[in-house]
Amino acid sequence: MTKTLFTSDHEWLRMEGDAAVVGITDYAQEQLGDLVFVELPEVGRQVTKGETVVVVESVKAASDVYVPVDGEIVAVNDALSSDPALVNNAAMGDGWLFKIKLSNPSQLDELMDEDAYKATI
Would you say the C-alpha torsion 104, 71, 35, 62 has a positive or negative sign? positive
Phi and psi at residue 97, to the nearest 5°: -100, -50
Radius of gyration of the chain (CA): 13
Diameter of the chain measured on Cα atoms: 37
Long-range contacts of 52-57 (CB under 8 A, 24+ apart): 53/98, 54/97, 54/98, 56/24, 56/32, 56/84, 56/87, 57/84
> Taking all residues of the chain, what is their mean pLDDT, rounded to a whole number?
96
Fold for 4-104, please state it: OB fold (Dihydrolipoamide Acetyltransferase, E2P) (2.40.50)
The tens digit of pLDDT for each residue in 100-121 reads 999 999 999 999 999 999 999 9
* pLDDT bucket at 1, cuts 50 / 70 / 90: low
The tens digit of pLDDT for each residue in 6-22 reads 999 999 999 999 899 99
In this prediction the pTM is 0.96
98, pLDDT greater than 80: yes
| pLDDT (average), residues 66-74 | 98
